[in-house]
């Protein structure tokens, strides 16, 4: 029970944490301590959590090699440790989620935080004219991406709730609707794309014919009303402005240039590149970031633990599988195309959600196998 309590407390504490911290405040130290205690308690309590921890040993090798490469290049140790922190937090988070005795409570805590942040972001908006105002102007935290996590968890918890509890199921539907509105209000192209891809993927996995039909219908509608959609995109999604896209392309290009100079092991943790006159330690593309700092060797090691995770997720009960696949694609796509993979509060939150869902899937499978036939 300590694992669940520590993890839930860490998640709830994120409501008071800054989006972009300037140093280690007492609140941030408390948060990191709670995440560490939750991960430790989960590993001590649960054998599956310890197995999960072993599966992430390739990450330890990747981090040690990248740290060594960075030290050889003379990169700052503080920046190198900061680069390594998200990976440690994710492993602690997934270990805590997998070892939680009350995984549904942990998922509910994450959903509550996402819903509160989403509601606050909508409440703070001076108007709902999305052509001139976005929720991220007054609520920076929602750009992290945990709104997408909340949508997935609302769907999962609704499916896990018995049909007889209509009020509770209705509450989860309402929270999902609130979070969808909050995502729309961010006017984030990456977040909206992730949400759309996740919904289509979930529909396709649940009913392939219907998912494919809706996708074809959407493409046909887009082709017929291309002019109208372009005008709306120009007005609301800045499709006519290439400044942001050009900046991202320059970041990726610079990363690839460094990668081509050291393709095997990359530039190492702590390395910085010059983009538009500023030295930066990360970029808005996770793939380019890993090639830059870890090279091919480290990138392959970082990919290995996800193979058993995907296999386990695909063994989920048919009722949960579409939502899990759609949510994973939605969140993963946004993490790849944004800088949220560096967020100190989002990364362990995602890890806890993944671990808790896998724990529920495992228990559901065990209960099904133990049931008399």
**Structural contact between residues 283 and 251, judged by C-beta atoms closer than 8 angstroms:** yes
* CA torsion, ordered 224, 227, 229, 231, to nearest 10 deg: -170
Which residues in 32-57 are b (16+ Cβ under 10 Å) and which e?
Answer: bebbbbbbbbbbebbebbbebbebbe
Residue 212, SS3 per DSSP: helix
| DSSP per residue, 138-200 | T-GGGGGSHHHHHHHHHHHHHHHS-TT-HHHHHHHHHHHHHHHHHHHHHT-HHHHHHHHHHHH
Q: What are the extents of the domains in the chain? A: 2-370
Quote the DSSP letter at residue 16: G
Dihedral sign from CA coordinates of 48, 49, 53, 56: positive
pLDDT score recorded for residue 244: 64
**Structural contact between residues 247 and 276, judged by C-beta atoms closer than 8 angstroms:** yes
* CA torsion, ordered 301, 302, 303, 308, to nearest 10 deg: 90
pLDDT score recorded for residue 238: 56
Quote the DSSP letter at residue 137: G
Which of 340, 362, 339, 338 is CA-nearest to residue 349? Answer: 340
pTM of the model: 0.90
pLDDT in tens, the chain (373 residues): 788 899 999 999 999 998 888 778 899 999 999 999 999 999 998 898 999 899 999 999 999 999 999 999 988 899 999 999 999 999 999 999 999 989 999 999 999 999 999 999 999 888 776 666 777 778 888 888 899 999 999 999 999 999 889 999 999 999 999 999 999 888 777 888 889 889 888 888 887 766 666 666 566 665 655 555 445 555 455 555 555 667 778 888 889 889 999 899 999 999 988 887 778 888 888 899 999 999 999 999 999 999 999 888 888 888 899 999 999 999 998 988 887 888 889 999 999 999 999 999 888 766 565 555 5
* CA torsion, ordered 159, 161, 164, 169, to nearest 10 deg: -70
How far apart are the C-alpha atoms of 359 and 314, rounded to whole Å?
A: 14
């Amino acid at each position: 029970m300590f694992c669940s309590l520590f993890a839930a407390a860490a998640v709830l504490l994120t409501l008071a944490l800054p989006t972009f911290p300037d140093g280690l405040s007492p609140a941030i130290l408390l948060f990191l301590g709670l995440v560490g205690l939750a991960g430790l308690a989960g590993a001590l309590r649960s054998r599956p959590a310890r197995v999960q921890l072993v599966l992430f040993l390739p990450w330890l090798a990747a981090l040690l090699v990248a740290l060594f490469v960075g030290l050889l290049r003379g990169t700052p140790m503080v920046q190198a440790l900061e680069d390594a922190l998200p990976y440690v937090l994710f492993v602690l988070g997934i270990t805590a989620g997998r070892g939680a005795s009350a995984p549904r409570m942990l998922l509910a805590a994450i959903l509550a935080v996402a819903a509160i942040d989403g509601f606050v972001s909508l409440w703070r908006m001076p108007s709902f004219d999305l052509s001139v105002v976005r929720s991220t102007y007054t609520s920076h935290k929602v750009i992290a991406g945990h709104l997408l996590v909340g949508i997935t968890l609302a769907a999962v918890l609704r499916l896990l709730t018995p049909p007889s509890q209509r009020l509770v199921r209705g509450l989860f539907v309402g929270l999902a609707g609130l979070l969808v509105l909050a995502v729309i209000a961010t006017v984030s192209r990456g977040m909206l794309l992730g949400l759309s891809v996740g919904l289509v993927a979930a529909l396709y996995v649940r009913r392939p014919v219907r998912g494919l039909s809706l996708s074809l219908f959407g493409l046909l509608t887009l082709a017929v009303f291309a002019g109208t959609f372009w005008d709306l995109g120009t007005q609301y999604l800045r499709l006519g402005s290439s400044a942001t896209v050009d900046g991202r392309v320059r970041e990726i290009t610079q990363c690839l240039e460094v990668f081509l100079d050291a393709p095997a092991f990359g530039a190492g943790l702590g390395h910085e590149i010059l983009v538009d006159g500023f030295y930066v330690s990360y970029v808005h593309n996770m793939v380019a970031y890993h090639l830059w700092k870890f090279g091919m060797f480290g990138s392959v090691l970082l990919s290995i633990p996800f193979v058993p995770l995907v296999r386990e997720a695909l063994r989920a009960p048919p009722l949960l599988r579409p939502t899990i696949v759609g949510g994973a694609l939605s969140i993963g796509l946004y993490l790849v195309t944004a800088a949220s993979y560096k967020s100190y509060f989002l990364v362990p939150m995602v890890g806890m959600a993944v671990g808790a869902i896998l724990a529920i899937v495992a228990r559901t499978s065990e209960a099904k196998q133990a049931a008399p036939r």
